[in-house]
Homo-oligomer: A and B are copies of this chain.
Amino acid sequence: MTRDIAQFAIGTSEDEISQQALAVMALSLMDWFAVAIAGKEQPATRIVSRIIQEEGGAAQSSILGSSTKYPARAAALVNGVSSHALDYDDTHFAYVGHPSTVIVPAVLALAEHHECTGQKFLDAALIGAESACLIGTWLGRRHYQAGFHQTATAGCLGSTLACARLLELDLEQTQHALGIASTRATGLKSQFGTMGKPYNAGVAAANAVESVLLAGYGFSSAGNALECEQGFSATHAGEEHQLGDLSERFRNNCLFESVQHKFHSCCHGIHASLEAFAQIMDDCRFSHEEIKRVSVSVNPRWMKVCDIKHPQTGLEAKFSYRFALAMLALGIDTAAPASFADEVCQSTELGEFADRVQVEPDAGHPDTATTVTIETHSGSIHNQYHDLENLPDLAIRTRKVRAKAESLIGETVVRQIWDSIQALPYTGIDQFMQDANCF
C-alpha cells in the first residue's frame, strides 16, 4: 500500500485528472476559506496563533487574516486548527473524516513558500485529498471505531502525499515521507468536544509539511510504513481493505468528487434528517404548532454520536437530533454557527418541540441516510427519505456552498475569494494569496 499510494500520488499525470474533480476541489477550497476565516477568532485558533506568533520565524506562508507570514509548518498548523474549529468543514464518508481541513492548509503553505503555480497547487490538493480518502477507505471503519480521529491520521498521510507531489519528491523520498508521517500521525476521538479536536487537524497538516521537508533532504524511514509488521495499520486497528489499481479506480470513480459540504452547523450525522425534515416543511408549509410527532430513523452508529437527548451547551446541541430539528421547526437558522448557543438548551419552546421528536436506530439505513416521518395533530402522516450520497449536480452544490460562505464571511469577501479561485489555473499562489487573503 505504501508504495502503491506513493506512486499514485506522485505519478498521476495532469491528463488523468478530470475537470469535474478539479471543480469539486475548487468548491471545497471556497468552503475551506469560508469556514477557516469564520473559525479564526475561535479560542482554539487564537491560542495556537499566539504560540506561533511568539515563535515567529521565516516569512514563508500566510495565516488567514494576517499579513505577517510564518514558517510553512506553522501556517499549516494555525490554518488547520482554524478550518476545523467550527466543525463546519467538508466531510467524506468513505474516508470517515474531513479532507480539506488537513490537506489544504499543508499544500497551500508549501505552495506559497515554494511559489508554485495555481494549477500545481490545485492538482496536488486534489490528489492529496483523494489519497486521504483512499487511505481512509483502506484503514476502514475499525480504525475509527477504535478511537482514532481519521481526519488526523489518514489526513496526515494524504496531506503528506499532496505535499510530496507538490515538491516533486521521487518515489523513494515519498515513501520515506510517508514513513516519517506514519510515526507521527495520531489524534484521538476522546478529545472531541474540546479544543483538541481542531488541534488534531492542524497538527496533522503541520506534520505533513515537516515530513515532506525532511524526506526531501534525505531523511530516512521504514519505506513500507503503512503495511509492514508493527507498521501504522497494525498498530492502529487498520482493516487493510483491498483497493485494486489505484489509478484505474481514480479515473473511473474519483472518491473526492462525492465530498460533502455541510449546510448546517452541527454534526454531519444530523444533516440528512434536517434535509428530509426541511423538505416536508417546505412542501407542506406546516407551522411547528401543527406537528404532533416527528420520528427519525437513522443508522445505529449515530445513536452514540449525535443523539444527545438533553443538551446542556450549544456544543452539545450540535450533537442532538431533537434540538436541531426543533431549531429548524421554529425557524432558527441551523446554518449559522452562532445559532448553536448555550441558550437554545434553556428554551422552553425548543424543549417542548424536542420532546415531540423520537429517534430510532435502523440498520437498514446507511450512514448517510435518514427517514423522517411527521404526524400532524390533524392526523396526516408525511414521510421523507434523504440520502446525503445522492448529491445534486455541481451547479446546485456551488450555489449552496456560496450561500453558506456568504452567510459566514459576507458577500464581498466571498466574491473576491471565489474569483481568485476561478483564476487559480492561470496564476501563481503568491498572487492568489494576495487576492484571496485580503479581508
Docked-complex contact A47 and B217, CB < 8 angstroms: yes
Docked-complex contact B183 and A196, CB < 8 angstroms: yes
Q: A58-B56, A147-B234, A194-B222 are in contact. Are A185 and B186 (CB under 8 A)?
A: yes
Docked-complex contact A55 and B71, CB < 8 angstroms: yes
**Interface 9-residue window, one of A223-231, A241-249, A262-270:** A223-231
A217–B83 CA distance with the chains assembled, in angstroms? 20
> Which of A185, A188, A228, A230 is packed against the most chain B CB atoms within 10 Å?
A188
* Interface bits A182-197 vs B (CB < 8 Å: 1, else 0): 1111111111011110
Smallest Cβ distance from A197 to chain B, in angstroms? 9
A71–B70 CA distance with the chains assembled, in angstroms? 13
Q: A147-B235, A214-B47 are in contact. Are A189 and B57 (CB under 8 A)?
A: no
Residues of chain B contacted by A58 (CB below 8 angstroms): 54-57
Docked-complex contact B180 and A199, CB < 8 angstroms: yes
Residues of chain B contacted by A196 (CB below 8 angstroms): 179-180, 183, 220-222
- A51 interfacial by beta-carbon distance below 8 Å: yes
- A48 interfacial by beta-carbon distance below 8 Å: yes
Q: A50-B217, A54-B58, A58-B55 are in contact. Are A230 and B188 (CB under 8 A)?
A: yes
- A219 interfacial by beta-carbon distance below 8 Å: yes
For the complex, count residues of A whose C-beta is within 8 A of B: 54
A230–B147 CA distance with the chains assembled, in angstroms? 5
Residues of chain B contacted by A199 (CB below 8 angstroms): 180, 183, 214, 219, 221
- A338 interfacial by beta-carbon distance below 8 Å: no
Residues of chain B contacted by A47 (CB below 8 angstroms): 214, 217-219
Docked-complex contact B231 and A190, CB < 8 angstroms: yes
* Interface bits A33-74 vs B (CB < 8 Å: 1, else 0): 000000000011001101100111110000000000001011
Docked-complex contact B188 and A186, CB < 8 angstroms: no
Residues of chain B contacted by A180 (CB below 8 angstroms): 196, 199
Residues of chain B contacted by A185 (CB below 8 angstroms): 186
Smallest Cβ distance from A374 to chain B, in angstroms? 35
Docked-complex contact B179 and A235, CB < 8 angstroms: no
Residues of chain B contacted by A229 (CB below 8 angstroms): 190
A182–B188 CA distance with the chains assembled, in angstroms? 8
Footprint of B on A, CB under 8 Å?
A: 43-44, 47-48, 50-51, 54-58, 71, 73-74, 146-149, 179-180, 182-191, 193-196, 199-200, 203, 210, 213-214, 217-222, 225, 228-232, 234-235
Contacts A183-B191, A196-B221 supplied; 14 other A-B pairs, CB < 8 Å: A50-B217, A51-B210, A51-B213, A54-B71, A55-B74, A56-B56, A57-B58, A147-B235, A180-B196, A188-B230, A188-B232, A190-B222, A191-B221, A191-B225
18 A–B pairs (Cβ distance < 8 Å), ordered by A: A47-B214, A47-B218, A51-B210, A55-B57, A55-B71, A146-B230, A146-B235, A147-B231, A182-B188, A183-B191, A183-B196, A183-B203, A188-B231, A188-B232, A190-B225, A190-B229, A191-B221, A196-B220
- Listed from nearest, the 10 A-B pairs whose CB atoms lie closest are A147-B230, A57-B57, A55-B71, A147-B235, A186-B186, A196-B221, A190-B230, A183-B188, A56-B57, A55-B57
